[in-house]
């Protein structure tokens, strides 16, 4: 190997490695792409928050584009997200269905009476089985579901203004 | 005599706790399968732990789910597929060989081969240089 090449070769390796590191820094290992995107939303039939004798089902939402927001009273990131949801519901652009995940009715209701209720209806998933069907692993999570009941997008973690403006609302409007 | 009876009875007391602390899943065969399966699966909440090790609430729920499916008579493959359908290949510590994961499987071997090739060629070059030097030395 020529002396010049001998010097350039490790440098090239270093540049490639730095490239990988730079990309890796921007990736979030907590964001695991969901295999459920572009698949039918799992069906559920769950008691309604505040009125357990009534039920909320996915069939009620067929023919509508809607958001399913998984939240809980014990989840602090959900509290951060809550004001944005309330503001969103005030604009009334898209129906928001809540899924109160592994929570108790009184505690769930307390959150809504405190911070306002952005949901058109809230289903209670006390034992977390519907959460498993949706592949929930970090609340809050939000699913965009189209008129045919297909999941089109999954937001892992709180909805941010940016995600709402750049991903969720354009997608909802296009469906 | 009465004192001795009290001592004896109090020695028996821990047995009450033993009776109470029986695990939910009674069948040792089910528990063994649950253990074997859950050490192959990743807890998504604490990503470097297996489902068997994790005490996250989701891991507890998933173990409950797996236990029920074992009792229902589902095979290991069916149970793994059930979880992969919901959480993706990432739940498996041994991802399947696919186009998307081929680098994961072949990558380390390719790096090893590249390293060995590099080592072999540089050693050969050095030996050639040494042979030349020795050859020259003998002539002189």
With CA atoms as reference, the chain B residue closest to A39 would be B85
The tokens for A89 are 């519901």
Whether the CB-CB separation of B44 and A32 falls below 8 Å is answered with: yes
Choose among A136, A139, A142, A131: nearest CA to A44.
Answer: A131
* ipTM, interface predicted TM-score of the complex: 0.78
* Mean pLDDT computed over A149-173: 92
Any domain includes A30: no
pLDDT for position B140: 47
* Mean pLDDT computed over A55-71: 93
The angle at the Cα of B95, spanning B72 to B71, to the nearest 5 degrees, equals: 10
First to last CA, chain B: 107
| pLDDT score of B24 more than 70 | no
Band (pLDDT 50/70/90 cuts) for residue B45 is: confident
Chain A residues within an 8 Å CB radius of B84? 35
Choose among A172, A173, A78: nearest CA to A122.
Answer: A78
Measured in degrees and rounded to the nearest 5, phi and psi for residue A32 equal -95, 120
Any domain includes A31: no
pLDDT for position A103: 93
**Percentages (nearest 5) of helix, strand, coil residues in chain B:** 70, 5, 30
Determine the structural domain holding residue A92 and report its residue range. Answer: 36-174
Residue A71's CATH number: 3.40.30.10
Choose among A3, A1, A21: nearest CA to A13.
Answer: A21
pLDDT for position A55: 93
Count of H helices and E strands in chain B?
Answer: 6, 0
| Chosen from A31, A35, A157 to mutate, greatest number of chain B CBs within 10 A | A35
| pLDDT score of B123 more than 70 | yes
Q: How many CA atoms lie within 13 A of A11 on its CB side?
A: 5
| pLDDT score of A46 more than 60 | yes
Any domain includes A50: yes
Percent of chain A with pLDDT over 70: 99
| Chosen from B58, B81, B95, B123 to mutate, greatest number of chain A CBs within 10 A | B58
**Interface contacts A/B by beta carbons within 8 Å:** 41
Chain A residues within an 8 Å CB radius of B87? 32, 34-35, 135, 137
Chain A residues within an 8 Å CB radius of B58? 128, 136-137
pLDDT, tens digit, for every residue of B68-84? 999 999 999 999 999 99
* Mean pLDDT computed over A106-118: 93
Any domain includes A137: yes
pLDDT for position B20: 53
Peptide bond into B24 cis (omega under 30): no
pLDDT for position B9: 74
Enumerate the β-bridge partners of residue A67.
Answer: A96, A144
Task: Look at chain A and report how many structural domains it folds into.
Answer: 1
Say which of B86, B88, B90 has its CB closest to residue A132: B86
Choose among A68, A81, A73: nearest CA to A142.
Answer: A68
Question: How is chain B split into domains, by residue range?
Answer: 1-96, 97-140
Rg (CA), chain A: 21
Chain A residues within an 8 Å CB radius of B42? none
Any domain includes A147: yes
What is the CB neighbour count within 10 angstroms for residue A8?
12
Whether the CB-CB separation of A46 and A55 falls below 8 Å is answered with: yes
Percent of chain B with pLDDT over 70: 85
| Chosen from B42, B87, B93 to mutate, greatest number of chain A CBs within 10 A | B87
Length of chain A measured in residues:
175
The angle at the Cα of B75, spanning B70 to B81, to the nearest 5 degrees, equals: 100
Band (pLDDT 50/70/90 cuts) for residue A108 is: very high
Any domain includes A14: no
pLDDT for position B16: 61
Chain A residues within an 8 Å CB radius of B89? 35
The tokens for A40 are 């039918």
Any domain includes A162: yes
| Cβ of residue B44 closer than 8 Å to a chain A Cβ | yes
With CA atoms as reference, the chain A residue closest to B43 would be A137
Band (pLDDT 50/70/90 cuts) for residue A120 is: very high
Distance (Å, rounded) from C-alpha A132 to C-alpha A137? 8
With CA atoms as reference, the chain B residue closest to A132 would be B86
Any domain includes A9: no
Chain B residues within an 8 Å CB radius of A33? 88
CATH superfamily, domain at B1-96: Cytochrome C biogenesis protein (1.10.8.640)
């Amino acid at each position: 190997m020529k002396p010049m090449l001998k010097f350039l070769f490790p440098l090239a390796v270093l540049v490639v490695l730095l490239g990988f590191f730079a990309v890796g820094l921007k990736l979030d290992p907590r964001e695991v792409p969901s295999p459920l995107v572009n698949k039918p939303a799992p069906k559920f039939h769950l008691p309604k928050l505040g009125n357990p004798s009534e039920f909320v089902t996915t069939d009620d939402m067929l023919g509508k584009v809607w958001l399913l927001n998984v939240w809980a009273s014990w989840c602090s990131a959900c509290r951060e997200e809550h004001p944005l949801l309330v503001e969103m519901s005030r604009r009334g652009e898209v129906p928001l269905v809540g899924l109160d995940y592994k929570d108790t009715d009184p505690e769930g209701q307390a959150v809504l009476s405190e911070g306002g209720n952005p949901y058109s209806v809230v289903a209670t998933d006390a034992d977390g089985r519907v959460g498993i069907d949706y592949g929930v692993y970090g609340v809050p999570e939000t699913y965009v579901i189209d008129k045919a009941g297909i999941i089109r997008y999954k937001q892992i973690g709180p909805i941010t203004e940016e995600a709402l403006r750049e991903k969720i609302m354009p997608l909802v409007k296009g469906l | 005599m009465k004192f001795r009876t009290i001592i004896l009875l109090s020695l028996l007391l821990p047995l009450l706790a033993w009776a109470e602390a029986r695990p939910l899943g009674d069948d040792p065969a089910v528990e063994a399968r649950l253990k074997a399966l859950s050490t192959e699966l990743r807890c998504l909440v604490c990503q470097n732990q297996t489902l068997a090790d994790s005490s996250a609430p989701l891991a507890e729920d998933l173990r409950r789910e797996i236990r029920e499916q074992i009792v229902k008579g589902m095979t290991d493959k069916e149970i793994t597929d059930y979880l992969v359908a919901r959480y993706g290949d990432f739940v498996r510590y041994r991802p399947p060989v696919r186009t998307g994961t081929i680098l994961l499987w072949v990558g380390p071997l390719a790096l090893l081969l590249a390293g060995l090739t590099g080592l072999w060629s540089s050693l050969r070059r050095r030996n050639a240089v040494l042979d030349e030097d020795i050859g020259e030395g003998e002539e002189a």
